[in-house]
Structure formats: structure tokens, C-alpha cells
């Protein structure tokens, strides 16, 4: 429960796409791809644990929350246990990343440090990123272009503009997951001083943000094909715009917690579908 398994597609999807692009380009390296996946999962889990701890300490998680149960706020785990948990998980991520650092050098060190730092500072510090409306920006960058291009780089030892562009799609879909979360919690967040974009700009903005992020993601495969004139089958990934119609309808018409929790889970699945279709399209 503390690890928030439904959020993990955001960590897996960009690594899958980066590895698939490396495979399609003939530079795939299995061990590097595997360690990228493990590191991404550990950083995501560590971030989730840190968020659980710091949101509780700041009073953002209260009994009024309508989202899934948070283990610190509910008393299922003590704050110190959760704190030890995220320190251990981030520490494990550092150990696992040593192999990637040995291959990729300084760029991987920088990506690793910034990824862990943003995971902690998302809810920690005097001005947490998630509390001042910068959550979407950092999620987009680190779960999108940085993750995809970084995964490609550590296998190929070269930076790929195509991998960077492909990362824009998964980054946008990661934003859509965060958007649903913030839309669901906007009223309780406002009461506790958590100034997400949904709180700052309101219901209509949050609904538009969800729709725009999905449409933007679906446009990336088409744009990338038109730009490169290669891997035409990646266009199939754009079908997520149609698959997402039921969840878009819920976001536009409902505000209750159970409905939005289902949309959040479905959007995670949408991210998995997108990454698989794009990856297969690139390889085939």
C-alpha cells in the first residue's frame, strides 16, 4: 500500500520505450536496460514513501482525504518506519545505479542525483515542488525525456533526439496521472495549503489539463514519424486517444473520489498500453 503500485507504470513505461528504441536501432544492452528498470522502480517507490511521510508531517493528509489510504496518516505504519523506508529504498537505488554510472559516467550521475532530489523535494523542504504548482513540470521532465533518453544513452553511449521526443509522450501521460490525483484532492489540498495547479486554476483547468495531456501524448508518435520518416508502426500508439474516451468523460462529468480513483488506475493502464504499442511499433 505504501509503495502505491498503481503509480509504477510511470516508472516502467519510459524505460521500456528507451530499451525498445535501442533494440530497434541495434544498440540494445540487456543488463543496462534491466538496471535502468530497477533504478526507475526504486526511485518511484522511494518517492512515494517520501511523499507519504512528508505529506503527513505537513498535515496535507487528513482524515478528510478521498484518495487511497496513506499508511502514515492512517497509522498503519509509524512516521519513523516510513522515513527509514524511503531512506533505505533511495540508498538501494544508489547502489544499483553504480553499474549504470560505470557505463554512462557523469551524465548518469547527474540524472540520478536530480531524480532522487526531486523525488524528496516534491513534498519536502520549505517550498515543496508539489505544493507550489511545479509537480507537473518535474514529472514531465523526469518521467519523460530524461528517463527515455537516459535509458537509450546508457545502452548506446549516444544521445538520441528521437528518444528525447518519444519521452514527451510518456511524460505527458505521467502528467495525466498526476492531474487526476490533484483534481480528486483539490478541495482537501486547498484547505491544507497545497497549491497544486488544480487548486490554483480550478476545476476547468484540471479537466482541460487531463484532456490536453492525453491528446498531446497521442500526437507524438505521428509527429516523430513525420519527422524521421521511419518506424511508421509507432503511429498505432496514438490509438490511446480513443481508448481514453471513457476516462475523459468521467473527468469531465464527475468529481467523487471513487470514480476518479478508477480513472487514476485506468490512466496507469493507458500508459502501459501506450508504451507497449510504441515499443512494438519501433521494433517492428
User: Which pLDDT tens digit goes with each residue over 214-238?
Assistant: 999 999 999 999 999 999 999 999 9
Strands (E), the chain: none
pLDDT of 65 strictly over 80: no
- Check: pTM over 0.75? Answer yes or no: yes
Q: Rounded CA gap, 219 and 238, in Å? A: 6
pLDDT of 267 strictly over 70: yes
Taking CA atoms, 60 is separated from 50, 53, 65, in Å, by 13, 10, 9
What is residue 94's predicted lDDT score, i.e. its pLDDT? 96
63 confidence band (pLDDT: 50, 70, 90) = low
Is 80 exposed, middle or buried (CB count within 10 Å of its CB: 0-12, 13-18, 19+)? exposed
Which residues, at least 6 apart from 61, have a Cβ–Cβ distance to it below 8 Å?
Answer: 52, 55, 70, 72, 73
Mean pLDDT score, 142-149: 96
126 confidence band (pLDDT: 50, 70, 90) = confident
CB atoms within 10 A of CB 61: 25
pLDDT of 66 strictly over 70: no
73 confidence band (pLDDT: 50, 70, 90) = confident
What is residue 231's predicted lDDT score, i.e. its pLDDT? 95
193 confidence band (pLDDT: 50, 70, 90) = confident
64 confidence band (pLDDT: 50, 70, 90) = low
Summary mean pLDDT of the chain: 93
What is residue 191's predicted lDDT score, i.e. its pLDDT? 86
Mean pLDDT score, 15-32: 97
Mean pLDDT score, 26-52: 96
pLDDT of 61 strictly over 80: no
Q: Are 19 and 160 in contact (CB under 8 A)?
A: no
What is residue 58's predicted lDDT score, i.e. its pLDDT? 82
Residue 180 cell numbers, joined: 487526476
Domains of the chain, residue spans: 5-283
Mean pLDDT score, 110-138: 92
What is residue 145's predicted lDDT score, i.e. its pLDDT? 97
What is residue 70's predicted lDDT score, i.e. its pLDDT? 84
Q: Are 23 and 284 in contact (CB under 8 A)?
A: no
Amino acid at each position: 500500500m505504501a509503495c502505491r503500485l498503481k503509480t509504477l507504470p510511470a516508472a516502467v513505461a519510459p524505460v521500456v520505450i528507451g530499451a525498445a528504441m535501442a533494440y530497434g536501432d541495434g544498440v540494445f544492452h540487456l543488463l543496462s536496460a534491466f538496471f535502468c528498470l530497477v533504478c526507475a522502480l526504486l526511485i518511484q517507490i522511494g518517492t512515494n514513501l517520501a511523499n507519504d511521510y512528508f505529506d503527513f508531517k505537513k498535515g496535507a493528509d487528513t482524515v478528510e482525504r478521498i484518495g487511497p489510504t496513506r499508511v502514515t496518516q492512517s497509522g498503519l505504519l509509524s512516521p519513523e518506519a516510513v522515513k527509514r523506508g524511503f531512506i533505505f529504498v533511495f540508498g538501494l537505488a544508489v547502489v544499483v545505479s553504480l553499474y549504470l554510472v560505470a557505463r554512462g559516467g557523469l551524465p548518469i550521475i547527474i540524472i540520478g542525483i536530480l531524480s532522487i532530489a526531486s523525488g524528496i523535494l516534491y513534498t519536502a523542504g520549505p517550498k515543496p515542488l508539489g505544493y507550489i504548482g511545479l509537480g507537473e513540470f518535474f514529472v514531465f521532465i523526469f518521467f519523460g525525456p530524461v528517463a527515455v533518453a537516459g535509458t537509450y544513452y546508457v545502452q548506446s553511449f549516444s544521445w538520441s533526439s528521437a528518444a528525447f521526443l518519444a519521452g514527451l509522450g510518456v511524460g505527458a501521460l505521467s502528467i495525466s496521472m498526476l492531474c487526476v490525483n490533484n483534481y480528486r484532492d483539490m478541495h482537501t489540498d486547498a484547505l491544507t495549503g497545497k497549491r497544486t495547479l488544480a487548486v490554483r486554476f480550478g476545476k476547468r483547468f484540471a479537466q482541460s489539463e487531463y484532456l490536453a495531456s492525453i491528446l498531446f501524448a497521442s500526437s507524438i508518435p505521428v509527429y516523430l514519424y513525420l519527422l524521421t520518416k521511419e518506424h511508421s508502426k509507432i503511429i498505432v500508439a496514438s490509438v490511446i486517444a480513443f481508448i481514453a474516451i471513457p476516462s475523459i468523460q468521467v473527468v469531465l462529468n464527475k468529481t467523487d473520489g471513487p470514480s476518479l480513483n478508477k480513472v487514476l488506475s485506468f490512466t496507469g493502464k493507458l500508459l502501459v498500453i501506450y508504451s507497449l504499442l510504441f515499443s512494438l511499433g519501433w521494433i517492428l
